[in-house]
Amino acid sequence: MNYTLFVGDLHLSADRPDILSAFHQFLSQDVTQCDALYILGDLFEVWVGDDIAEPFAQELAERLKQFSVHTPIYFIHGNRDFLLGKAYAEHSGMTLLPEVYCLDLYGQPSVLLHGDSLCTLDKAYQRFRRFRNMSWAKFIYNHLPRSKRIAIADKLRSKSKQSNQLKSYSIMDVEPCAVAQLMAQTGAKRMIHGHTHRPDIHPLANNGQRIVVGDWYEQGSVLKVSPEQVSLQSLPFNEADA
């Protein structure tokens, strides 16, 4: 029986070797029946440029590349790794998808996204999101000197290290109106996203379904969809490490 896997919000960083090793383990499973792996954003805690990827990310690229030889990997950007570019994607064998991606999943019209665009109540963040998506903002950032971008990276990393000590993450939840609107726009029956770190399967109107993949902070979270069933599984780190 064939199936498709979905993960998101791994927030990989050099500070969390346990998450990294769980993900490496995940990539080593038998996937002969797996049609595809979708990574729904925030694979990395911080991403500031393909040319200044940390060693753990370079190693991971090799591992992803091996995986992609037998099973295609698709990637949607998250708010943490929206700067992940073509060079890293190519190196790791991942196909970059647009921020909202529609597909037919075993006969079910489905829409995939990271999920941050649905948290419309967070006005300040939505403003930043509009700004960062402007091509000139990206252009300017990408043309900053390398030393400047490394300084920004260091700042972001130490900031995320501090906030990691206080986490679990609490993020505003999606807005039901934004969900309904996107379902109507895309004609999808099923929506799959991450970002909120609230793994769940929510029924929607007209037999619709909204599935949220969980973060990989205290355990892994994997969604497995086959023609017959949908299952949202958690993946204990120690077990994955064993």
CB of 9 to Mn ion, least distance (A): 6
For residues 34 and 182, which CB has a smaller minimum distance to Mn ion in the complex? 182
91 vs 129 by CB, closer to Mn ion: 129
Q: Least separation, in Å, of the C-beta of 170 and Mn ion?
A: 12
Decide whether 113 or 225 has the Cβ nearer to Mn ion: 113
Nearer to Mn ion, 172 or 204 (CB): 172
Give the Cα separation of 78 and 179 in Å (integer). Answer: 17
Q: Is 221 in the site for Mn ion (CB under 5 A)?
A: no
**CB 117: neighbour CB atoms within 10 A?**
19
Q: Name the token pair of 54.
A: 């940390």
Amino acid at 19: I
Rounded Cα distance, 74 and 38, in Å: 5
Query: Rounded distance, CA 105 to CA 120, Å?
Result: 27
| CB closer to Mn ion, 3 vs 38 | 38
**Which DSSP helix (H) or strand (E) runs through 95?**
strand 94-96
Alpha carbons 15 and 19: distance in angstroms, whole number? 9
Q: Using CB atoms, what's the residue nearest to Mn ion?
A: 195
Q: Which long-range CB contacts under 8 A does 15-19 form with residues at least 24 apart?
A: 15/161, 15/164, 16/164, 18/237, 18/241, 19/216, 19/217, 19/220, 19/237
At 149, list the tokens: 């971008």
Let me know: does 10 contact 197? Beta carbons within 8 Å: no
Site string for Mn ion, 93-132 (x = CB under 5 A): ----------------------------------------
Q: How far is the CB of 80 from Mn ion (least distance, A)?
A: 6
Complex with Mn ion: residue 101 or 106, whichever CB lies closer: 101
**Residue 150: alpha-carbon gap to chain centroid:** 23
CB of 115 to Mn ion, least distance (A): 7
Comparison of 42 and 50: residue with beta carbon closer to Mn ion: 42
Q: Looking only at residues 184 through 203 of this chain, which bind Mn ion when binding is defined by CB under 5 A?
A: 195
Encoded tokens for 49 = 């440029």
Range 29-88, binding Mn ion (CB under 5 A): 42, 78-79
Helix, coil or strand: residue 6: strand
Task: Find the shortest distance in angstroms from Cβ 33 to Mn ion.
Answer: 29
CB of 75 to Mn ion, least distance (A): 14
Binding-site residue total for Mn ion (CB under 5 A)?
4
Name the minimum Å distance from CB 116 to Mn ion: 5
**Amino acid identity, position 191:** M
Interface residues with Mn ion (CB under 5 A) are: 42, 78-79, 195
